[in-house]
Amino acid sequence: MSDKIRVTKNFTETPPPTGEVRNIAEWEPAEGVLITYKNGFGIPYEAIAEMSQNCIITTIVSGLSQENTVQTLFINNEVNIANCNFIYTPVDSWWARDYSPWYIAVDNSELAIVDFPYNRDRPNDDEIPNKMATFLGETRYGMDVVQTGGNYMCDGYGVAAQTDLVLDENLAGLDCFQDIPITAEEVNQRTHDYLGISNYFIRPDPLGDYIKHIDCWGKFIAVDKVVVTQVPVSDIRYDAYEAAAAFFSETNCSYGYPYHVFRVQAADQDEYQENPYSNSLILNNKVFVPQTGSAFDNEAIAVYQQAMPGYEIIGSYSSDLWMNTDAFHCRTYGIPDREMLFIKHYPLFGTVNSDNGYSLSTEIYSYAENEIDGNYPKLFYCINGGSLYEDIVMTGSITKSGIYSATIPEQTEGTEIKYYIQALDSEGKSAFHPFIGQADAHIFTAGSNSSSSVSEEKIKVDYFNIYPNPCEGKFFVWVDIEKETTSKLDIYAINGTCVHSENIHLNNGDNLKKIEVGNLKPGIYSIKIQSDKSTLIKKLIVK
């Protein structure tokens, strides 16, 4: 990768999307993968052949003559040529991750492309997002923030992470690539407006003054999991790497609990020389992990197998293609399935007290606008590590998209409960939550039965409910208690932030209280009603 050069970009800014914007994560369903032919591919033929078995290989070539050359190479190396297509356009490099567009869903239906000024003096590469928008027939949005794809990762739930390179290249200073520098607040605002990112982690780079791409040392592998490189204690950057890992292990993911951090060991070599294990590629149910012949190769595979149960972990060896921190991730880019089923769900976790069972909800969206099969979505659950899963058809009223709910029956305190969700549309397309399904099911522990654990000092609650639920910001709280009290009503977002608070007076007997909160965004919230002698909690869904 070349040194940074200040350049003036031929870039067209557009207004941001209107509606809800969701940045699509790497592990979500993919219809294909983009690679580039530039004096080779930068990845082994064996890996291309493996990818071509269940997704489309889209290859950028200069024209028909080069396509013919590539087709011959593919055929000779057992690539499934029936799953290949080509884009004719010149390129400057094979680092597709850096210059490819970022994909978003608008209002959980339209798939679109976000373009940005690329931070290298490679004008042909910088045009690839425009070419992809035309090739796919999708809308292009131009976000005027200088970027590079290797320095970006997102979780599909509004969280993204980068190194502070993004500030170096956009704020005023020696490294700024912007003709008109922008502020950190503008970087955050544009990232929110174009990509839907509401929780934005900008971190120092433990590698030091290198290319400062986050995929050189870490990556999200699920909404709640991250891989971070580990260097020996003798490495001068050891403390910086440990701080990077500690940040994630001490930070809540979008599900509301700290990230699970997995470490892949780097070799103790010269400065900036790593084994590029974090520079892997997730493509549907396969994970491609670079292998270099190092003594740590097998260990890296084992870490991925532990971190990503249910996935096929594929080691790909190269003695000459892989660079120190530059491998699969830098040289490929997944193309999302434009007809995917998207399941949005915030899982139960930790210890969950029962209120006549364990209620949960999910949102289902068909990007192809197909109806959901009448017997789906289904909730599957098992107890105490059993292999037999019970299933419950979740209830909902909207067929192409909407909110569905189900209740797992109450269990004995201390019972471990695993569960996952499956959706199926009318055309047979299936999706799971978590994304790999049963092999990595969500887990929580049954707590106490709230109705039987009320002590004499607490106020007895005979009934507690919310109506309507889902709602649009206006709802009623219905509480039947046996003693008059004044309570505090708080509404919490999924990340634990209190978004509304008020005091309510409850009389002995039935109480129906109207609550109006006009500024709640669609999503799942928790309502807590608390006095000095009783605490009640319910989920609230805002649509």
Could you give the residue numbers annotated as active site? 330
- The SS3 call for residue 518 is coil
Residue 354 per-residue DSSP state: E
Of 410, 429, 438, the closest CA to residue 369 belongs to 429
Report d(CA 399, CA 373) in Å as an integer. Answer: 8
User: Buried b vs exposed e over 10-47: b needs ≥16 C-beta within 10 Å?
Assistant: ebeeeebbeeebbbbbbbbbbbbbbbbbbeebbbbeeb
Give the N- to C-terminal CA distance of the chain in Å, as an integer.
Answer: 46
Dihedral angle at the C-alpha atoms of 189, 190, 194, 200, nearest 10 degrees? -60
Q: 527 with 540: CB under 8 angstroms?
A: yes
- The SS3 call for residue 244 is helix
- The SS3 call for residue 218 is strand
Whole-angstrom CA distances from 436 to 312, 313, 424, 431, 443 are 11, 13, 15, 9, 14
Whole-angstrom CA distances from 311 to 81, 91, 222, 250, 381 are 25, 33, 12, 26, 20
Q: How many CA atoms lie within 13 A of 90 on its CB side?
A: 4
Residue 45 per-residue DSSP state: H
Q: 218 with 278: CB under 8 angstroms?
A: yes
User: Buried b vs exposed e over 444-454: b needs ≥16 C-beta within 10 Å?
Assistant: bebbebbeeee
**β-bridge partners, 286:** 283, 312
Of 401, 405, 409, the closest CA to residue 469 belongs to 405
Q: 471 with 540: CB under 8 angstroms?
A: yes
Of 531, 484, 534, 525, the closest CA to residue 503 belongs to 531
Give the tokens for residue 280: 């892997």
Dihedral angle at the C-alpha atoms of 222, 224, 225, 231, nearest 10 degrees? 140
Report d(CA 447, CA 32) in Å as an integer. Answer: 44
Which are the contacts of 379, defined by CB distance < 8 A and separation ≥ 6? 360, 391, 392, 394, 406, 408, 419, 420, 421
Q: How many CA atoms lie within 13 A of 10 on its CB side?
A: 10
**β-bridge partners, 252:** 258
